[in-house]
Amino acid sequence: MKVGIVGLQQAGKTTLFRAITQGKAPIDEYGGKPNVGVVAVPDARFDWQVENISPKKATPATIEFIEGAAKIGEDQRGRFGSDFFQDVRAVDALLHVVRAFPGPLGEPPTPDKDARALAEELILADLQSVETRLARVEKSLHGTKKDATTPLTMERDLLLEIKDALESGRLLKALSLTPDQEKLIRGYDFMSQKPQIIVANIPEEEIGEPESASVKELRAYAQEAGILVTVLSAKVEAEVAELPQDEQKEYLEAMGLSEPARDRLIHETYGALGLIVFYTAGEPEVRSHSIPEGTQVIDAAAKIHTDLARGFIRAEVGHFEDVRAAGGWEEAKRAGKVELHTREYVVQDGDIIYIRFKV
């Protein structure tokens, strides 16, 4: 899974990227290269299984974070250049960093205005894609009968509907599309269709304090747009991330924080994407896998290995909580907590799965 970090200039994108990846990407580098980092999904259930089984190999689910540098100033039209999102097109979700701390000259932040500005950029980027595609579709349709219905006319109608929504200032994620329509436009990577989380980057002094008026304004905008807001100080989080593991907890507690924002953000991203986690666990390897909610076990099996889906017989499934309560897989089995399921079984978050198969 890939998550793009976006935002206006000097919002704290690189600082947040450092906090999440515990890396050393240079801060304050205008027009820098995009930063890319892979992070293991923090997961106490995974850790317990690794400890319990001591496998040869432990493979946690990962997320790739890409920070698209906001390399462009405003152009003559007061807009960002067309490649504003170049580095973060092919991502599954967006973290939108919004400055909620005072500017370098003490200017008060305007997070709601900044959030709207970025939403507008997302919409403009999508309008560009729609128009390019529409022109091509119209060209191919030239000369076809007016009342014919073909995949191409369906696509044209959908693109016109999308164009309409964008022109009236709506993000595409607010549009309810049928699965068939979703399929038609899957290849376009429309920016405003991606799940989004707004990160309000507050000053250190505001941690644990009542929310400022500007953050409240941001919340009002986000609620209207149907976007989750998460509040943190990227600067503090980046400092925490540089400490040795055992000192991180202490430092966070001193600041009145219960977990690093990195962990919270990753979990919120899972929620926004409707993803759940299941496990495969044995002595050779303990592994966690992310899949969309509602996935059938046959498709989960295919994700582990195509052979498992091809030769699928039955799935043995035990839930993590039952397995932990019993003290392990074999113990859970003896306690009757492991069940056999057919291919249609819908995988639940926290399932531990063993596929019986024959090829």
Ligand X SMILES: Nc1nc2c(ncn2[C@@H]2O[C@H](COP(=O)(O)OP(=O)(O)OP(=O)(O)O)[C@@H](O)[C@H]2O)c(=O)[nH]1
Residues near ligand X (CB under 6 A)? 7, 9-15, 27-28, 30, 69-70, 101, 201, 203, 233-235
Q: How far is the CB of 217 from ligand X (least distance, A)?
A: 18
Name the residue nearer to ligand X (CB basis): 206 or 331.
206
From residue 288, give the alpha-carbon distance in Å to each of 78, 332, 341, 349, 352. Answer: 46, 19, 20, 11, 9
Nearer Cβ to ligand X (101/278): 101
Residue of this chain nearest to Mg ion (CB atom): 14
What does 9 bind: Mg ion, ligand X, none (CB cut-off 5 to 8 Å by kind)?
ligand X
Could you tell me the smallest distance in angstroms from the CB atom of residue 15 to Mg ion? Answer: 8
Which of the listed partners (Mg ion, ligand X, none) does 334 bind, with a CB threshold of 5 to 8 Å by partner kind?
A: none
Neighbours of 214 (CB within 10 A): 22
| From the list ligand X, Mg ion, none, partner contacted by residue 198 (C-beta under 5 to 8 A by kind) | none
Shortest distance, CB of residue 220 to ligand X, whole angstroms? 21
Q: For residue 336, how many other CB atoms are within 10 A of its CB?
A: 9
Minimum CB–partner distance for residue 233 and ligand X (Å):
4
**Which of Mg ion, ligand X, none does residue 233 bind to, with CB < 5 to 8 Å depending on kind?**
ligand X
Closest CA to 351 of 272, 295, 270, 308: 295
Supply the minimum distance, in Å, between the C-beta of residue 27 and ligand X. Answer: 4
Nearer to Mg ion, 14 or 49 (CB): 14
Separation of alpha carbons 206 and 248, rounded Å: 20
10 binds, among Mg ion, ligand X, none (CB under 5 to 8 A by kind): ligand X
DSSP 256-299: T-SS-HHHHHHHHHHHHHTEEEEEEE-SSEEEEEEEETT-BHHH
* Cα distances (Å, whole numbers) of residue 313 to 15, 233, 308, 310, 339: 49, 50, 9, 9, 14
Three-state secondary-structure class, residue 39 = strand
CB of 11 to ligand X, least distance (A): 4
Q: Give which of ligand X, Mg ion, none residue 147 binds (C-beta under 5 to 8 Å, depending on kind).
A: none
- Residue 329 interacts, among ligand X, Mg ion, none and using kind-specific CB cut-offs from 5 to 8 Å, with none
Q: How far is the CB of 28 from ligand X (least distance, A)?
A: 5
Q: How many CB atoms are located within 10 Å of the residue 21 CB?
A: 20
Pair of tokens at residue 162: 């999308």
Closest CB to Mg ion among residues 13, 219: 13
Count of alpha carbons within 13 angstroms of residue 47, beta-carbon side: 5
Residue 201, binding choice from ligand X, Mg ion, none, Cβ under 5 to 8 Å by partner class: ligand X
Please choose which of Mg ion, ligand X, none residue 328 contacts, taking the beta carbon within 5 to 8 angstroms, the exact cut-off set by kind.
none
Nearer to ligand X, 8 or 317 (CB): 8
**In the complex, least distance from residue 354 CB atom to ligand X, rounded to whole angstroms:** 45
Instruction: Give how far Cα 176 sits from Cα of 33, 266, 273, Å.
Output: 36, 26, 16
For residue 155, how many other CB atoms are within 10 A of its CB? 18
Nearer to Mg ion, 15 or 49 (CB): 15
Dihedral sign, Cα of residue 89, residue 95, residue 99, residue 104: negative
Contact residues: Mg ion, CB under 5 A = 13-14
Smallest distance from Mg ion to CB 61, Å: 27
Residues 64-75 as b/e (b if ≥16 CB within 10 A, e otherwise) read ebbbbbbbeeee
Q: Which is nearer to ligand X, 27 or 335 (CB)?
A: 27
Q: Which is nearer to Mg ion, 13 or 99 (CB)?
A: 13
Residue among 13 and 194 whose Cβ is closer to Mg ion: 13
